[in-house]
Homo-oligomer: A and B are copies of this chain.
Amino acid sequence: MSKFWSETVKRTEPYVPGEQLDIPNLLKLNTNENPYPPSPNVVDAIKTELERKLHLYPSPSADQLRESIGAYYNLEASNVFIGNGSDEVLAFSFMAFFESGQKIRFPAVTYSFYPVYAKLFNVPYEEIPLNRDFSIPSEAFFQSEGGVIFPNPNAPTSLYMELETIKDILDNNPDQVVIVDEAYIDFAPGSAVSLINTYDNLLVVQTMSKSRSLAGLRVGFALGNPNLIQALTRIKDSFNSYTIDRLAIAGAESAIRDIEHFKDTTHKIIKTREWITTEMKKRGFYVLPSSTNFIFISHYNYRAEILYTELKNQNILVRHFNKAGIENYLRITIGTDESMHSLLQTLDSIMLKNK
């Protein structure tokens, strides 16, 4: 703390990202990255761009990328906002749609960045407790004062909310923005993007970090009514004109166009998820039905924190949240079949030792 710090700095409680340890042979299953590399076209497109004009500013509005993302979803460029990862898009959304005097609502167990944004921008909030099965009680989000934000599927629970339920939340917040954070949607039944032309209060946020294997490139986007996109653009153009560099624009453009690679890797991850779910159940784990690229699991006989520590000792990193209600759960990213085999093997030996 210092006399130079603003009131804003003083009230922040920064987000703590998953550990990014730089250890050789580490099996990293803690930050929900894709185990497969991005489309080879991405690498080619970046190499081409690299030889061109690195000394010139990128396009401030990334129009071509917005058109490509729009086209993928049968939307216009005016429905698309691009940001430096979905985290930046979410930060801008808090500024654009939430007020410092009006309480917003999000689930009590959810992406832990939401309360961090709320503190940074001085937005009051209510944390809505989940149902006992970890599902989101939709009615508790009706008639919110300042707006609503939740992930679908939710993290770290991995549970998907049906679009009919999302419609109910939208119908019951006609004057507030409802942000559906779809970081994991490509591993789930269906996106709320299909509702955008019906609901002018819906903002869908997605990322290229998960299903497009581009966590290292920092590209996220929001989809919604042009009126909402315009608000985000005003905030961005008052903050930083050029948020996406030339290489990221070229890479993201190429990734969104390679539908085959995307489908192939997504299907592989879903297949591995179904298999590892069965394997975990065989071992007595309770596994929530996942619609994401991770599983959220708990065991009656083994404390999650001990499993987390013992796995880490053996160079396998998973995520454990020290938070009431989920303190006996582990969130484990779906890797390749090979890495999931290693995980099972190590887990078996740990469970045997701690029996």
Contacts and interface: CB of A to CB of B under 8 A. Distances in A.
A49 to B, nearest CB: 8
Interface string A39-53: 000110011001101
B84 A240 contact: yes
A13 B87 CA distance: 23
A201 B4 CA distance: 7
B214 A57 contact: no
Interface stretch (A70-78, A95-103, A153-161, A270-278): A95-103
A54 interface: yes
A50 B46 contact: yes
A5 interface: yes
Q: Is the interface of A mostly helix, strand, loop or mixed?
A: loop
Contacts of A116: 238
Among A56, A235, A239, chain B packs the most CB atoms within 10 A around the CB of: A239
A241 B246 CA distance: 20
A53 to B, nearest CB: 6
Interface in A227-276: 227-228, 231, 233-235, 237-248, 251
B88 A239 contact: yes
B4 A97 contact: yes
Interface in A76-99: 84-85, 87-88, 91, 95-99
A230 B239 CA distance: 20
B247 A46 contact: yes
Nearest to A61: B20
B234 A246 contact: no
A176 B28 CA distance: 44
Among A43, A46, A57, chain B packs the most CB atoms within 10 A around the CB of: A57
Interface in A207-231: 209, 213-218, 227-228, 231
Contact of A238 (B5, B6, B15, B244): B15
Among A53, A56, A246, chain B packs the most CB atoms within 10 A around the CB of: A56
Given A6-B98, A88-B239, A218-B245, 16 more contacts: A3-B175, A4-B231, A6-B95, A9-B95, A12-B235, A14-B237, A16-B237, A20-B57, A34-B55, A37-B55, A46-B247, A54-B217, A55-B215, A58-B216, A216-B246, A247-B247
